[in-house]
Structure formats: structure tokens, C-alpha cells
Amino acid sequence: MSIKRSAFLRNLAFGLSTSFVLAACGGAPTDTADSDDPAAADSAGSEAVTGTLTVATEPAFPPFEFQNEDGELDGFDIDLMTAIGEAAGLEVQFESLPFDGIIPALQAGTVDAAISGMTITEERLQTVDFSRPYVKAGLAIAVKEENTEVATLDDLQDKKIAVQIGTTGAEQAAEIPGAEISTFDSAPLALQELANGNVDAVINDAPVTLDAIASGNIDGLKVVGELLTTEFYGIAMPKGSENVEIVNDALMTMMEDGTYAEIYQEWFGEEPPELPESAF
Ligand code: ARG
């Protein structure tokens, strides 16, 4: 699978401006684990959950989460979360949910965590907790290959834009004056709407749009301009969950012992960028 997905990288290198790559190398702090929350040691009692962690995901977001040809969940997030479970001695049970249903499910406590290419935002932090950042990404604009009019956000005024519901891309689109926004349940559906010529642009996470183009899943689209944002993905958990510490400890261990880099290599074909300890 890694071979097929490496198309994502080629595209990154050629297609997009190098800004994603540059962003990925951008000067993140190099502090390591030990400065991490000294209070954590006191709160002890790490044995949350019962041995099984129910983890929500919206699996139409390759290469992070998707259903493979055998109908199984696959992707970077899936491999990472499974490895976190192994490191923490917990069995991970995935549950597919609509993206905009994930935070409500966490709040209601019907799932223990969510890994879904979910950006750590200040707004979401009001209602859920996040693990430390595990991916650096950002939003990008996609248009039809032949479109020469759109290069920046400003060019999208009064245009038709498709987005996935409940995403940071949807929020970004909502701020564009005069834009007519159509929301879809998944990113591929939004991209298909663009390919069909029914909208002028899609605002979506750059790695996912680039993967859709590179894998040939969607034809006739290109990514324009610079990344609109820098975003960090985190694993979301209910506010105050004891699992935050467990997940962070596992992530930390995996970042130090090379397991994280191995999984990253497998999906993105390169060394992971430096990641900050927290998104804000
Ligand atoms: N990173 C964006 C956000 O958090 C989009 C995530 C969409 N994820 C998915 N699995 N569909 O809003």
C-alpha cells in the first residue's frame, strides 16, 4: 500500500508549491518529553478504560483513514492509533461516525476517543481534550485544472465553494464574503462536486486533496496557491479523560523509539517533521 500512496509525495514535491513541505519543516520547538507537564506525575492512576478503547473516525479521508479494497479500515491514523493501543496495552475498537457527529459522541461519552485527521482548534478545545499534535497539515484551495482565475482566498469572493461539513475548511469558507457554500458529508463528495463542475472550488486539508488527485480518485483538479493555514491534528477525547495522559505517553514513547517515524514513512515516504508539544 505504501507504494501506491507514495504518489501523494511526488505530487507534494511537484504540484503544490513547496509550502506544504516547507511548512512541514518549519521551526517547531525541539523541547522533548521531560518538560511535559510535571503535574502529570502526581495525577497518577493511569489505568483508565477497561482494556478497550472505542475510537471514532470518519473513514473517507485518505491517506489518514479510509476503507481499503477489502472493506477494512486503513490509513495513517488507523495504523497510528492501533500502535498507540499496543503501546498502552489497550485494544482499539474503531467506530465509523459522520465527522460532525464525532465531537457530540465524545461529549456524550459514547466513544472514548477520536482519530480522524481532526485539527486541534481553540474552539474544539472548549468542548474536548486533545492529545499532543501528531501531524502537521493545513488547508488548500482546489479548483479545476483549467481554472486560471483562482490563486488566493480573495479570488473566491462571490464564488461557489464545496466543503465537508463540520471541518476547518468549512469554517474558512464561511468567512469569504459573498461565497455560496455547499456542504457535503465527506471530502471526496465535495471534491467530486468540483470535478462535476457544479462549484468553483473546494477548501479542504491539503494532504487529502493532493492524495485524491495523485491516486487518480478524482480527475481534472489541481491545488492552487499556498497553504491557507498551518494545522495540527490531535486525537480528541472527552474533557478531563484520563486517557489523554495514556495516549500522550504512548505517542511520546513511539516518537522516541522510532515507531512513529516508521508509520509516517510508510504512508508519506519521508521523515516526519518536528512537531510541537502542543498546538497553542
Ligand atoms: N482537519 C479538518 C478538521 O479537523 C478536516 C478533518 C476531516 N476528517 C475526516 N476524517 N473527514 O476540521
173: Cβ contacts below 8 Å, ≥ 6 apart: 156, 161, 163, 179, 181, 203
Ligand 1 atom with least separation from CA of 58: 10
> How does pLDDT run across 21-36, given as a tens digit for each residue?
333 333 333 333 344 4
Domain check: are 122 and 143 in the same one?
A: no
Candidate from 57, 61, 103, 128 with most ligand 1 atoms within 8 A of CB, to mutate? 61
Ligand 1 atom with least separation from CA of 187: 11
Ligand 1 atom with least separation from CA of 77: 10
Q: Which CATH number characterizes residue 158's domain?
A: 3.40.190.10
Nearest CA to ligand 1 atom 12: 167
Domain check: are 157 and 243 in the same one?
A: no
> How does pLDDT run across 222-255, given as a tens digit for each residue?
999 899 999 999 999 999 999 999 999 999 999 9
- In a domain, residue 277? The reply is no
Q: What is the mean pLDDT of the chain?
A: 87
pTM (2 decimals)? 0.84
Cis omega (within 30 of 0) for bond into 63: yes
Average pLDDT score over residue span 72-80: 98
Number of structural domains (the chain) is: 2
- In a domain, residue 6? The reply is no
Assess whether pLDDT exceeds 70 at residue 268: yes
244: Cβ contacts below 8 Å, ≥ 6 apart: 129, 130, 131, 237
Domain check: are 163 and 87 in the same one?
A: no
Look at residue 225 in the predicted model and tell me its pLDDT: 86
Q: Determine the structural domain holding residue 65 and report its residue range.
A: 22-136+231-268
Assess whether pLDDT exceeds 70 at residue 43: no
118 CA from centroid of ligand 1 (Å): 5
Look at residue 234 in the predicted model and tell me its pLDDT: 98
